[in-house]
Amino acid sequence: MSEENVALVRDFAGAAQSGDWERVTELVDPELEGHGTVGGLDEGRVFRGLPALVHAFEIEDAEAWEERRIEPTDFVDGGDVIVILIHEFRRGKGSGVELETDTAVVATVRGGRIVRVQGYMEQDAALKAAGLST
């Protein structure tokens, strides 16, 4: 089952990255819970349902950035919890300020669908939260 979860989360990441929200809808639970990035500006914020998460990613986040590249670099298998290690590049609108960092998302899978996602500014913190730190 764990390999299936990794494949599911990999598919989710690819679909979200390409903006294929129809495919994402097939992969997530209708009651998906999204949690703001730990260590980020939206820490503590909770998004309920895919439309709220899409709005935060496609509208709110896009308003601040002229360019965004969010590239998964690895998927760490924790059974029902998969950690997506990510390399991000962003360029601010207006300011032109560039940011390049390594972040992570912890995705929880239940019943063959993603039920929860939580972002982390620090990859080590994500691995620790998922019980996968070394």
Place of tokens 């764990």: 2
Sketch the domain layout of the chain as residue ranges.
2-128
Q: What is the Cα–Cα distance from 134 to 114, expressed in whole angstroms?
A: 25
State the pTM of this model. 0.90
Q: Is residue 89 pLDDT above 60, yes or no?
A: yes
Residue type, 119: G
- Per-residue pLDDT, averaged over 8-37, amounts to 93
Tell me what pLDDT residue 63 has: 74
- Per-residue pLDDT, averaged over 91-102, amounts to 90
The average confidence (pLDDT) of the chain is: 90
- Per-residue pLDDT, averaged over 97-126, amounts to 96
Q: What is the Cα–Cα distance from 32 to 35, expressed in whole angstroms?
A: 10
Q: Is residue 134 pLDDT above 70, yes or no?
A: no
CATH, domain range 2-128: 3.10.450.50
Tell me what pLDDT residue 100 has: 94
Between β-strands 113-120 and 28-38, what pairing exists: parallel, antiparallel or unpaired? parallel
Tell me what pLDDT residue 28 has: 96
* Cβ(50)–Cβ(30) below 8 Å: yes
Could you tell me which residues come within 8 angstroms of residue 22 by beta carbon, excluding any fewer than 6 positions away? none
pLDDT in tens, 44-57: 999 899 888 777 76
* Cβ(124)–Cβ(131) below 8 Å: no
